[in-house]
């Protein structure tokens, strides 16, 4: 089935099963974006106070990243903060800040992937439990699409970050409820589906087939995986790299996901990838980015944002204005790739 969607400065008509595209303007897929995190911080303080417990980027911060070539961001939000009671109206303060984010992003030519950063849980209860029925999750997504579906800066809906544990058993059914909720009000915008087991690219083959039965009436799903390069792939990077760190470790961890996409004629995305500034980690990330770009698979680096402080994966510039070592690698791929559709290409 074909669908059309305006994205940035181009419009493409895509037949997703065949990866075909007809360009109306200069078509290009933005292959390198950033996670601008902060609005999901401090789960222990709900609803919390803006600027104290959670943080939204300023327009100036978006301008600065725009000037560096960034055209897309993944933006994590907290379900409980946005919707303090299930099946009820959005919190006006938090939703208003998301409104402002979309306005500021549009003013800077930046597109936003809206990410519900909740691990398939609401106040600790998994979606599909008696406390959080599937209908409540569908209601959330209906409200998301109704409020922000017509925003020009909306790139897509990442309907849930990193389902894991007991939520793995209910995620496929929950994801369908999320799709159905979005499509009640938005029949165009892409929906990004993360996998079970923390959306692990390396473990995608364990769970991915459960997502093949998902149905989207406009056939505009993008599957999204995460990959980190430390020994347990958690992204904590508790120790420095081993002396014999395989510089292709990221490629090896991503390949199961990419091969699954190719086998099933699906489109893919890496929602999180980040490393500390050690040269060995940076080399491994460089190789991973080259592989992703070769396959036309977009990624968003984890992470940027105004409140990270000394966080070892942060790509925010240093206090003196100099760039982080991670940015020196990322910028090699910004605006490159010559990809007209999200891959992997055949």
Q: Give me the residue spans of the domains in the chain.
A: 30-330
Residue 25 Rama label (left phi>0; alpha psi -120 to 50; beta) = beta
Looking only at the bridges linking them, the beta strands covering 111-116 and 154-158 are parallel
pLDDT the model gives residue 27: 53
What is the value of pTM for the model shown? 0.92
For residue 47, cis peptide bond before it (omega within 30 degrees of 0): yes
Q: What Å distances lie between residue 332 and 163, 273, 291, 328, CA to CA? A: 32, 16, 13, 7
Q: In what order do the strands lie in the sheet with 2-7?
A: 2-7, 10-15, 20-23
Q: Which residues of 164-187 are buried (b: 16+ CB within 10 A; e: fewer)?
A: beebbebbbbbbbbbbbbbbebbe
Annotation marks residue 40 as catalytic: no
Residues 273-330 have pLDDT tens digits of 999 999 999 999 999 999 999 999 999 999 999 899 899 999 999 989 999 999 999 9
Question: Do the Cβ atoms of 222 and 267 come closer than 8 Å?
Answer: yes
pLDDT under 50 in the chain at which residues?
Answer: 1-26
Give the residue from 193, 195, 200, 256 showing the smallest Cα distance to 220.
193
Which residue in the list 40, 202, 272, 316 is annotated as catalytic?
Answer: 272
- Range list of β-strands (E), 17-131: 20-23, 32-36, 72-77, 111-116, 121-122, 125-126
Question: 30-330, what's its fold?
Answer: TIM Barrel (3.20.20)
Which residue in the list 142, 162, 194, 316 is annotated as catalytic?
Answer: 162
Question: Do the Cβ atoms of 346 and 299 come closer than 8 Å?
Answer: no
């Amino acid at each position: 089935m074909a669908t059309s969607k305006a994205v940035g400065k181009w419009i493409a008509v895509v037949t997703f099963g065949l990866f075909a595209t007809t360009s109306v303007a200069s078509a290009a897929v933005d292959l390198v974006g950033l996670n601008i995190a902060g609005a999901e911080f401090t789960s222990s303080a709900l609803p919390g106070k803006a600027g104290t417990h959670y943080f939204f980027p300023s327009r100036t911060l978006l301008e600065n990243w725009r000037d560096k070539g960034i055209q897309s961001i993944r933006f994590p939000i907290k379900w409980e903060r946005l919707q303090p009671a299930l099946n009820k109206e959005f919190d006006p303060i938090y939703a208003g800040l998301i409104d402002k984010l979309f306005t500021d992003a549009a003013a800077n030519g930046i597109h936003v992937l809206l990410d519900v950063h909740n691990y398939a849980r609401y106040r600790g209860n998994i979606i599909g439990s008696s406390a959080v029925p599937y209908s409540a999750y569908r209601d959330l997504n209906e409200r998301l699409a109704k409020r922000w579906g017509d925003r020009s800066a909306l790139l897509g809906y990442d309907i849930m970050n990193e389902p894991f544990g007991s939520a793995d058993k209910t995620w496929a059914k929950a994801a369908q409820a999320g799709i159905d909720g979005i499509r009640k009000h938005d029949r165009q915008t892409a929906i990004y589906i993360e996998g079970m087991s923390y959306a692990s690219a390396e473990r995608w083959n364990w769970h991915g087939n459960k997502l093949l039965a998902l149905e989207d009436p406009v056939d505009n799903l993008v599957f999204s995986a995460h990959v980190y390069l430390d020994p347990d792939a958690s992204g904590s990077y508790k120790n420095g790299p081993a002396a014999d760190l395989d510089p292709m470790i990221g490629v090896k961890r991503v390949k199961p996901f990419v091969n699954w996409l190719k086998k099933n004629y699906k489109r893919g995305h890496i929602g999180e990838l980040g490393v500390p500034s050690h040269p060995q980690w940076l080399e491994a990330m460089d190789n991973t980015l080259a592989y992703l770009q070769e396959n036309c698979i977009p990624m968003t680096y984890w992470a940027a944002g105004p409140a990270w402080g000394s966080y070892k994966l942060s790509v925010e510039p240093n206090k003196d204005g100099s760039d982080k070592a991670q940015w020196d690698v990322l910028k090699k791929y910004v605006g490159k790739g010559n990809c007209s559709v999200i891959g992997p290409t055949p």
